[in-house]
Amino acid sequence: MQIVSSVAAIQRRARQWRRAGTRVALVPTMGFLHDGHLSLVERARRAVGQAGVVVLSIYVNPTQFGPAEDLARYPRDLPRDTRLCRTAGVDLLFTPADAEIYPGRKEDRYSTYVVEEALSTGMEGAARPTHFRGVATVVAKLFNLVQPEVAVFGQKDFQQAAVIQRMTTDLNFPIKIVVAPTRRERDGLALSSRNQYLDPDQRAQAPILFHALEATKLAVSRKTVSAARLQSDLRAFLTVAPLAKLDYVEFFDPDTLQPAKQVKRGTQMALAVFFGQTRLIDNARL
Protein backbone atom coordinates (compact mmCIF):
# COMPACT_ATOMS: atom_id res chain seq x y z
CA MET A 1 0.00 0.00 0.00
CA GLN A 2 1.25 3.45 -0.91
CA ILE A 3 0.73 6.46 1.35
CA VAL A 4 0.75 9.99 -0.05
CA SER A 5 -0.12 13.26 1.63
CA SER A 6 0.45 15.96 -0.96
CA VAL A 7 -1.83 17.23 -3.71
CA ALA A 8 1.03 17.01 -6.21
CA ALA A 9 1.63 13.33 -5.39
CA ILE A 10 -2.00 12.25 -5.73
CA GLN A 11 -2.39 14.21 -8.98
CA ARG A 12 0.72 12.53 -10.35
CA ARG A 13 -0.69 9.10 -9.45
CA ALA A 14 -4.07 9.95 -11.00
CA ARG A 15 -2.38 10.90 -14.30
CA GLN A 16 -0.44 7.62 -14.29
CA TRP A 17 -3.59 5.58 -13.70
CA ARG A 18 -5.46 7.41 -16.43
CA ARG A 19 -2.65 6.86 -18.97
CA ALA A 20 -2.55 3.16 -18.06
CA GLY A 21 -6.33 2.79 -18.32
CA THR A 22 -6.54 1.65 -14.68
CA ARG A 23 -9.96 1.76 -13.04
CA VAL A 24 -9.97 3.75 -9.79
CA ALA A 25 -12.42 3.69 -6.88
CA LEU A 26 -12.41 6.29 -4.10
CA VAL A 27 -13.57 5.86 -0.50
CA PRO A 28 -13.56 9.28 1.24
CA THR A 29 -13.42 9.11 5.07
CA MET A 30 -12.51 11.21 8.09
CA GLY A 31 -10.60 8.32 9.61
CA PHE A 32 -10.95 6.49 12.92
CA LEU A 33 -12.01 3.59 10.73
CA HIS A 34 -14.48 0.88 11.72
CA ASP A 35 -16.14 -2.08 10.00
CA GLY A 36 -18.56 0.24 8.23
CA HIS A 37 -15.68 1.98 6.47
CA LEU A 38 -14.05 -1.35 5.64
CA SER A 39 -17.30 -2.54 4.04
CA LEU A 40 -17.03 0.48 1.72
CA VAL A 41 -13.55 -0.69 0.75
CA GLU A 42 -15.02 -4.10 -0.09
CA ARG A 43 -17.64 -2.47 -2.34
CA ALA A 44 -14.95 -0.36 -3.98
CA ARG A 45 -12.84 -3.43 -4.72
CA ARG A 46 -15.81 -5.24 -6.26
CA ALA A 47 -16.48 -2.20 -8.43
CA VAL A 48 -12.99 -1.99 -9.98
CA GLY A 49 -11.75 -5.57 -9.63
CA GLN A 50 -8.37 -6.85 -8.58
CA ALA A 51 -6.68 -5.05 -11.47
CA GLY A 52 -8.11 -1.72 -10.36
CA VAL A 53 -6.99 0.69 -7.66
CA VAL A 54 -8.82 1.46 -4.42
CA VAL A 55 -7.95 4.83 -2.89
CA LEU A 56 -9.04 5.65 0.66
CA SER A 57 -8.70 9.21 1.88
CA ILE A 58 -8.47 10.22 5.52
CA TYR A 59 -9.10 13.89 6.12
CA VAL A 60 -10.98 15.54 9.00
CA ASN A 61 -12.49 18.31 6.93
CA PRO A 62 -12.74 21.55 8.94
CA THR A 63 -15.25 23.25 6.64
CA GLN A 64 -18.02 20.77 7.44
CA PHE A 65 -17.86 21.48 11.19
CA GLY A 66 -19.74 24.36 12.77
CA PRO A 67 -18.09 26.70 15.34
CA ALA A 68 -19.49 24.78 18.34
CA GLU A 69 -18.98 21.28 16.91
CA ASP A 70 -16.39 18.62 17.68
CA LEU A 71 -13.62 19.35 15.16
CA ALA A 72 -10.88 19.58 17.79
CA ARG A 73 -11.87 16.40 19.60
CA TYR A 74 -12.92 14.34 16.58
CA PRO A 75 -11.20 10.95 17.07
CA ARG A 76 -7.97 10.43 15.17
CA ASP A 77 -5.62 7.42 15.07
CA LEU A 78 -3.68 7.36 11.81
CA PRO A 79 -1.31 4.47 12.74
CA ARG A 80 -4.29 2.23 13.55
CA ASP A 81 -6.14 3.36 10.42
CA THR A 82 -3.08 2.64 8.29
CA ARG A 83 -2.88 -0.93 9.62
CA LEU A 84 -6.59 -1.46 8.89
CA CYS A 85 -6.18 -0.12 5.36
CA ARG A 86 -3.30 -2.52 4.67
CA THR A 87 -5.33 -5.46 5.94
CA ALA A 88 -8.39 -4.41 3.93
CA GLY A 89 -6.43 -4.24 0.68
CA VAL A 90 -6.41 -0.50 0.08
CA ASP A 91 -3.93 0.33 -2.68
CA LEU A 92 -3.31 3.97 -1.85
CA LEU A 93 -3.99 5.92 1.34
CA PHE A 94 -4.31 9.69 0.88
CA THR A 95 -3.74 11.69 4.09
CA PRO A 96 -3.54 15.40 3.25
CA ALA A 97 -3.05 18.28 5.69
CA ASP A 98 -5.32 21.34 5.78
CA ALA A 99 -2.74 23.41 3.91
CA GLU A 100 -2.91 20.97 0.99
CA ILE A 101 -6.70 20.96 0.71
CA TYR A 102 -7.40 24.61 1.61
CA PRO A 103 -4.26 26.60 0.74
CA GLY A 104 -4.37 30.04 2.28
CA ARG A 105 -7.60 29.47 4.22
CA LYS A 106 -6.14 30.57 7.56
CA GLU A 107 -4.98 33.81 5.97
CA ASP A 108 -8.42 34.41 4.37
CA ARG A 109 -6.97 33.71 0.95
CA TYR A 110 -9.34 30.86 0.20
CA SER A 111 -12.87 31.71 -0.96
CA THR A 112 -14.20 29.05 -3.35
CA TYR A 113 -16.84 26.57 -2.16
CA VAL A 114 -19.40 24.21 -3.70
CA VAL A 115 -23.01 24.72 -2.62
CA GLU A 116 -25.93 22.41 -3.41
CA GLU A 117 -29.15 24.39 -2.94
CA ALA A 118 -32.04 21.90 -2.94
CA LEU A 119 -31.34 18.62 -1.15
CA SER A 120 -29.08 20.16 1.50
CA THR A 121 -31.52 22.59 3.11
CA GLY A 122 -33.50 20.35 5.50
CA MET A 123 -32.61 17.90 8.26
CA GLU A 124 -28.81 17.95 8.65
CA GLY A 125 -28.64 21.12 6.58
CA ALA A 126 -31.08 22.89 8.90
CA ALA A 127 -29.37 21.60 12.04
CA ARG A 128 -25.85 22.30 10.74
CA PRO A 129 -26.16 25.24 8.30
CA THR A 130 -22.65 25.15 6.78
CA HIS A 131 -22.18 21.40 6.91
CA PHE A 132 -23.06 20.42 3.36
CA ARG A 133 -21.14 23.31 1.84
CA GLY A 134 -18.05 21.82 3.46
CA VAL A 135 -18.95 18.26 2.44
CA ALA A 136 -19.63 19.15 -1.19
CA THR A 137 -16.47 21.22 -1.43
CA VAL A 138 -14.09 18.62 -0.05
CA VAL A 139 -15.66 15.77 -2.06
CA ALA A 140 -15.46 17.82 -5.27
CA LYS A 141 -11.79 18.43 -4.50
CA LEU A 142 -11.16 14.73 -3.92
CA PHE A 143 -12.93 13.89 -7.17
CA ASN A 144 -10.70 16.35 -9.04
CA LEU A 145 -7.54 15.06 -7.37
CA VAL A 146 -8.13 11.30 -7.60
CA GLN A 147 -10.24 11.21 -10.79
CA PRO A 148 -12.03 7.98 -9.84
CA GLU A 149 -14.55 6.14 -11.94
CA VAL A 150 -16.40 5.03 -8.79
CA ALA A 151 -16.85 6.63 -5.37
CA VAL A 152 -18.38 4.76 -2.44
CA PHE A 153 -20.35 6.27 0.43
CA GLY A 154 -22.37 4.84 3.32
CA GLN A 155 -26.16 4.86 3.55
CA LYS A 156 -26.02 5.92 7.21
CA ASP A 157 -25.40 9.46 5.92
CA PHE A 158 -28.39 9.27 3.55
CA GLN A 159 -28.76 13.00 2.94
CA GLN A 160 -25.02 13.40 2.39
CA ALA A 161 -25.06 10.67 -0.26
CA ALA A 162 -28.02 12.35 -1.97
CA VAL A 163 -26.26 15.72 -2.00
CA ILE A 164 -23.10 14.18 -3.44
CA GLN A 165 -25.07 12.33 -6.10
CA ARG A 166 -26.80 15.57 -7.12
CA MET A 167 -23.49 17.47 -7.17
CA THR A 168 -21.93 14.73 -9.29
CA THR A 169 -24.77 14.98 -11.81
CA ASP A 170 -25.02 18.77 -11.83
CA LEU A 171 -21.27 19.33 -12.22
CA ASN A 172 -20.83 16.56 -14.81
CA PHE A 173 -18.35 14.46 -12.87
CA PRO A 174 -17.91 11.19 -14.84
CA ILE A 175 -18.17 9.17 -11.64
CA LYS A 176 -20.54 6.43 -10.51
CA ILE A 177 -21.73 6.94 -6.93
CA VAL A 178 -22.24 3.72 -4.98
CA VAL A 179 -24.18 3.89 -1.70
CA ALA A 180 -23.44 0.90 0.53
CA PRO A 181 -25.78 -0.40 3.28
CA THR A 182 -25.37 0.76 6.86
CA ARG A 183 -23.31 -1.55 9.05
CA ARG A 184 -24.62 -2.06 12.59
CA GLU A 185 -23.63 -3.46 15.95
CA ARG A 186 -25.46 -6.58 17.11
CA ASP A 187 -27.93 -4.43 19.05
CA GLY A 188 -28.75 -2.35 15.96
CA LEU A 189 -26.67 0.77 16.65
CA ALA A 190 -25.27 2.09 13.38
CA LEU A 191 -21.46 2.05 13.31
CA SER A 192 -20.02 5.54 13.68
CA SER A 193 -16.68 7.01 14.71
CA ARG A 194 -18.61 9.16 17.20
CA ASN A 195 -19.92 6.10 19.08
CA GLN A 196 -16.68 6.07 21.05
CA TYR A 197 -17.77 9.32 22.74
CA LEU A 198 -20.64 7.51 24.50
CA ASP A 199 -20.27 6.58 28.15
CA PRO A 200 -21.56 3.12 29.23
CA ASP A 201 -25.04 4.37 30.16
CA GLN A 202 -25.41 6.33 26.93
CA ARG A 203 -24.15 3.38 24.89
CA ALA A 204 -26.73 1.12 26.54
CA GLN A 205 -29.52 3.49 25.47
CA ALA A 206 -28.17 4.43 22.02
CA PRO A 207 -29.91 1.55 20.15
CA ILE A 208 -33.15 3.48 20.70
CA LEU A 209 -32.51 5.05 17.26
CA PHE A 210 -32.64 1.64 15.59
CA HIS A 211 -35.68 0.60 17.64
CA ALA A 212 -37.45 3.80 16.59
CA LEU A 213 -36.83 2.95 12.94
CA GLU A 214 -38.11 -0.60 13.40
CA ALA A 215 -41.21 0.54 15.32
CA THR A 216 -42.05 3.00 12.55
CA LYS A 217 -41.62 0.35 9.87
CA LEU A 218 -44.16 -1.76 11.72
CA ALA A 219 -46.55 1.16 12.12
CA VAL A 220 -46.71 1.83 8.37
CA SER A 221 -46.39 -1.75 7.13
CA ARG A 222 -50.10 -2.05 6.34
CA LYS A 223 -51.46 1.49 6.40
CA THR A 224 -50.66 5.14 5.77
CA VAL A 225 -50.11 7.31 8.85
CA SER A 226 -49.77 11.09 9.11
CA ALA A 227 -46.22 12.34 9.66
CA ALA A 228 -47.39 14.58 12.50
CA ARG A 229 -48.85 11.62 14.38
CA LEU A 230 -45.73 9.51 13.87
CA GLN A 231 -43.49 12.34 15.04
CA SER A 232 -45.59 12.67 18.20
CA ASP A 233 -45.54 8.91 18.76
CA LEU A 234 -41.77 8.79 18.32
CA ARG A 235 -41.18 11.57 20.83
CA ALA A 236 -43.14 9.49 23.33
CA PHE A 237 -41.30 6.33 22.26
CA LEU A 238 -37.91 7.94 22.90
CA THR A 239 -38.79 8.65 26.53
CA VAL A 240 -37.91 5.03 27.34
CA ALA A 241 -34.29 6.18 26.84
CA PRO A 242 -34.10 9.16 29.22
CA LEU A 243 -30.58 10.11 28.12
CA ALA A 244 -31.75 10.54 24.51
CA LYS A 245 -32.69 14.08 23.44
CA LEU A 246 -34.38 14.24 20.04
CA ASP A 247 -32.97 16.77 17.58
CA TYR A 248 -35.30 15.91 14.70
CA VAL A 249 -37.27 13.11 13.09
CA GLU A 250 -38.34 13.59 9.48
CA PHE A 251 -40.24 11.67 6.82
CA PHE A 252 -39.53 12.43 3.18
CA ASP A 253 -39.41 11.26 -0.41
CA PRO A 254 -36.17 9.28 -0.90
CA ASP A 255 -35.47 10.88 -4.29
CA THR A 256 -36.41 14.53 -3.81
CA LEU A 257 -35.99 14.68 0.01
CA GLN A 258 -39.22 16.69 0.13
CA PRO A 259 -41.16 16.25 3.40
CA ALA A 260 -43.99 13.73 3.38
CA LYS A 261 -47.23 14.66 5.15
CA GLN A 262 -48.50 11.10 4.85
CA VAL A 263 -46.10 8.25 5.60
CA LYS A 264 -46.35 4.83 3.95
CA ARG A 265 -44.16 2.00 2.80
CA GLY A 266 -41.36 3.41 0.66
CA THR A 267 -41.14 6.70 2.55
CA GLN A 268 -37.68 7.53 3.91
CA MET A 269 -37.22 8.30 7.60
CA ALA A 270 -34.28 10.01 9.29
CA LEU A 271 -33.63 11.08 12.86
CA ALA A 272 -30.93 12.72 14.94
CA VAL A 273 -30.57 12.23 18.69
CA PHE A 274 -28.23 13.75 21.25
CA PHE A 275 -26.67 11.74 24.07
CA GLY A 276 -25.03 14.48 26.08
CA GLN A 277 -22.89 16.35 23.54
CA THR A 278 -22.74 13.37 21.18
CA ARG A 279 -25.12 13.55 18.23
CA LEU A 280 -26.06 10.34 16.43
CA ILE A 281 -28.01 9.98 13.20
CA ASP A 282 -29.76 7.09 11.49
CA ASN A 283 -32.26 6.48 8.70
CA ALA A 284 -34.24 3.77 6.94
CA ARG A 285 -36.55 3.18 4.01
CA LEU A 286 -39.88 2.27 5.59
Task: Report the catalytic residues.
Answer: 37
Residue at 76: amino acid letter: R
Query: Got the DSSP string for 171-222?
Result: TT---EEEEEPPPB-TTSPBP-GGGGG--HHHHHHTTHHHHHHHHHHHHTSS
CB 272 within 8 A of CB 247: yes
Alpha helices in 89-192 (DSSP H): 98-101, 124-127, 131-146, 158-170
Angle at 37 (CA atoms; ends 33, 41), nearest 5 degrees:
120
Residue 162 exposed, middle or buried by CB count within 10 Å (0-12, 13-18, 19+): buried
